[in-house]
Structure 1
């Protein structure tokens, strides 16, 4: 794991956007397409806005989410809606977005999971994956409080699974640990001293079911860079 400290979130986002753009450009030049997987929440919004203005052949970039709440994009808590409003704008509006929601099963992520699995099965190895981390150590929607945590962390897991957290609202769809690790570069984007404390706790212990971010931090298959700013 590589740790990068930045003096401010502004400095972090400027450097991060440039790094992501370079990796996506390299993927396009090498393979003709780039697969870019992001996470929701408030932390990445300035990053998304910076990327949206970046010169890149966005028509050759496929964007999806590491996970999403099982909500239509019009819902204020939908990460899909957040990504479309902040990242898929301006120059990046030409990117192709793959949704993790299915309106025909809008009331039940478990019923709709097979549709999402079919939708994402053709995605190539992720060129860039950005993950966040909750104060409970969850990442994507791999929640330690959920009954699905062992299935999500299993080495033979399907690409995606439906999740019902016990301590957070809404059913979710999440990529499994196995599919998240089918990436060329993973970033963990953290802002705030509380998150740094959680990260240190995660590094110190072995049990990924207790703090699922450990499954990302403590593996040796894919390079992981943590981008951190205190504020």
Structure 2
């Protein structure tokens, strides 16, 4: 992937930050998140952030967990989660509990999407009620991206994609055909109701996917394109 190719394709409102190592990225992004949340608490008395799961952000979670912040005034939720109990390895809520809500960060309020005893579809309304406790504008959303161009659980293969893109509800149940497990995702509207959006990427393959996403604008094929139309900062490392 020619680095200059992506640079020429990026719209002015999208900023790409490249780091030589994942450790450098983690340090810089953790510092930025810390400053943003602290400033939000100082200015508005509270802060709210939506995070993504998976392996890539685990070092970030661990770094943040050890960072002194006004955590008792911070609300954390997920951009999406697999519909699994938190003791399952693929549960994003479980990752948050084990890697972020520790040490300094254990005082934060965590609003989980997962609810036992219901399918994701059955839990949509209850999940929306939980999310209503968050401020109208999230201070930050940290997204990831799959090589099919999905972000959060806005999967191009899912029959519920259009609903998740258009609904006025803050969340939507989604069942992808290209990945395991039913999901609950924040809706496009709720993800965009945020002061800042960050895309956290690792690996050359993600640069290739980003390049492909920038070549066209069909959101149904690559949902990440919706967020490339908005102000966005991309943090990338090999």
Q: Is the 8 A contact 1:203 1:218 kept in 2?
A: no
Match for 1:123 among 119, 124, 134? 134
Of the structure 1 ranges 189-198 and 157-166, higher mean CA displacement relative to structure 2 is found in 157-166
Match for 1:199 among 186, 210, 227? 210
The residue that corresponds to 1:177 in the other structure is 188
Q: 2: CA distance between counterparts of 1:215 and 1:158?
A: 18
Shift in Å, 1:122:
2.7
Shift in Å, 1:113:
1.2
**What is the 5 A alignment of 1:74-113?**
74-105=87-118, 108-113=119-124
The residue that corresponds to 1:229 in the other structure is 237
The residue that corresponds to 2:31 in the other structure is 18
Q: 1: CA distance between counterparts of 2:219 and 2:168?
A: 15
User: Structure 2: which 5+ residue stretches go unaligned?
Assistant: 1-13
Shift in Å, 1:104:
2.8
User: Structure 1: which 5+ residue stretches go unaligned?
Assistant: none
Q: What secondary structure, in the 3-state scheme, does the structure 1 residue paired with 2:33 have? A: helix
Q: 2: CA distance between counterparts of 1:140 and 1:76?
A: 18
The residue that corresponds to 1:4 in the other structure is 17
**What is the 5 A alignment of 1:18-57?**
18-57=31-70
Match for 1:141 among 144, 153, 156? 153
CA root-mean-square deviation: 0.8
Q: What secondary structure, in the 3-state scheme, does the structure 1 residue paired with 2:106 have? A: helix
The residue that corresponds to 2:164 in the other structure is 152
User: 2:83 aligned with 1:73, yes or no?
Assistant: no
Q: 2: CA distance between counterparts of 1:120 and 1:95?
A: 15
Q: 2: CA distance between counterparts of 1:31 and 1:189?
A: 26
TM-score (norm 1): 0.95
Q: Is the 8 A contact 1:153 1:209 kept in 2?
A: no
Q: What secondary structure, in the 3-state scheme, does the structure 2 residue paired with 1:226 have? A: strand
Q: 2: CA distance between counterparts of 1:138 and 1:178?
A: 16
The residue that corresponds to 2:175 in the other structure is 164
Shift in Å, 1:151:
1.1
Q: What secondary structure, in the 3-state scheme, does the structure 2 residue paired with 1:23 have? A: helix
